[in-house]
């Protein structure tokens, strides 16, 4: 019979992973308490939760949440980063931190119900943030409309100039 604190822990992990937009699994062996504190602060600033979890409980929670199993990734001492707001944030922060601190290893992760390896997480970290992508898309959508408005304005202006020129030729005054 499982103990109550384990049942509660699985329920908590299940709730968090089901709400997360992305999950990144890391090996944190060798990090000092100060390093972990700095890393957690950086992750928290980006809306990312970082939890050291028991692998078996994490596997059960993933299964209960209906997410693909990450059995190969969850071996040894692991921690998971859960991107709650932006799916790219955990990959960006962890990759940047791993460049400065070689003890942190990114093992893999999960996004959109697909298990990702460490290389995919690295590629994900190179993507622009959600806000940048949305602003680029909005710019792409408004560009044709702006060009159309400018073109229509120029056409109307040419007609007005032509009418003005005709009025001057006939001896009238310009309006």
Percent of the chain having pLDDT more than 90?
25
Q: What is the per-residue pLDDT for 80? A: 93
Q: Which of 16-20, 36-40, 83-87, 152-156 has the lowest mean pLDDT?
A: 152-156
Structure tokens at 43: 């992750």
Q: Indicate whether 108 and 61 sit together in one domain.
A: yes
Q: Indicate whether 170 and 114 sit together in one domain.
A: no
Q: Indicate whether 37 and 84 sit together in one domain.
A: yes
CATH number, domain at 101?
Answer: 3.30.70.1730
Reported as a pLDDT band with limits 50, 70 and 90, residue 172 is low
Q: Indicate whether 100 and 152 sit together in one domain.
A: no
Structure tokens at 111: 């996004």
Q: Domain count of the chain?
A: 2
Q: Indicate whether 90 and 115 sit together in one domain.
A: yes
Our CA dihedral for 103, 44, 56, 16, rounded to 10 degrees, sits at -160
Burial class (CB in 10 A: 0-12, 13-18, 19+), 162: exposed
Q: What is the per-residue pLDDT for 23? A: 92
Q: Indicate whether 146 and 82 sit together in one domain.
A: no
Q: What is the per-residue pLDDT for 173? A: 56
Using an 8 Å Cβ cutoff, are 78 and 26 in contact?
Answer: yes
Reported as a pLDDT band with limits 50, 70 and 90, residue 94 is very high
Q: Which of 109, 103, 68, 85 is nearest to 20 (CA)?
A: 85
Structural domain that includes position 168: 129-175
> Which SS3 state, helix, strand or coil, does residue 84 take?
coil
């Amino acid at each position: 019979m499982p103990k109550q604190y384990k049942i509660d822990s699985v329920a908590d992990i299940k709730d968090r992973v089901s709400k997360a937009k992305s999950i990144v699994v890391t090996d944190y062996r060798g990090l000092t308490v100060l390093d972990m504190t700095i890393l957690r602060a950086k992750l928290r600033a980006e809306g990312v939760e970082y939890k050291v979890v028991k692998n078996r409980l994490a596997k059960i929670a993933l299964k209960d949440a209906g997410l693909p199993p990450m059995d190969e990734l969850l071996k040894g001492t692991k921690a998971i980063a859960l991107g709650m707001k932006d799916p790219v944030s955990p990959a960006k922060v962890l990759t940047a931190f791993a460049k400065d601190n070689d003890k942190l290893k990114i093992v893999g992760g999960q996004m959109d119900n697909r298990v990702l390896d460490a290389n995919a997480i690295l590629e994900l970290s190179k993507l622009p943030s959600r806000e940048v992508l949305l602003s680029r898309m909005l710019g792409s959508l408004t560009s044709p409309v702006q060009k159309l408005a400018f073109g229509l304005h120029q056409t109307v202006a040419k007609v007005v100039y032509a009418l003005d020129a005709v009025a001057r030729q006939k001896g009238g005054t310009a309006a």
